[in-house]
A = this chain, B = another copy of it.
């Protein structure tokens, strides 16, 4: 590799590529687990959210970072399969609260268990290594990327 002159250091590039591989693997596993229940990845994500907590359509769209109009069709399809239902909100008759049915909860629970990604690859690490990985990922994710464009000089 090593194609671009403005590329960051080799170590950073390698870690970035490894993360890319992890991302690809993760998606593969997720889609596969979903497909075993005849669900698409997007449907599985909706179901997972609703299994945690019944949620108004609009809020659901915000959480999934998509337009509210899309939720109509997605919830329609899940509702047609009996995994989700729409409930009225007594406080505001405009809102419809999407909620997982009992069957939906069961499928979501099975999905969580079948997400072997949490199992297989991580089992290759010792508990101490897993703790280490957790701490590194936490730090990586908590950086509030305040800078924006500036590469920001490394702290001493």
Chain A residues close to B by CB (< 8 Å): 3-4, 6-8, 11-16, 18-23, 25-28, 65, 109, 112-113, 115-127, 129-134, 136-143, 145, 147, 151-152, 154-155
Contact = CB atoms under 8 A, between A and B. Distances in A.
A137 B22 contact: yes
Given A7-B112, A16-B115, A127-B11, A122 B140 contact: yes
Contact of A3 (B3, B25, B109, B118): B109
B123 A154 contact: yes
B23 A26 contact: yes
Nearest to A18: B137
A14 B134 contact: yes
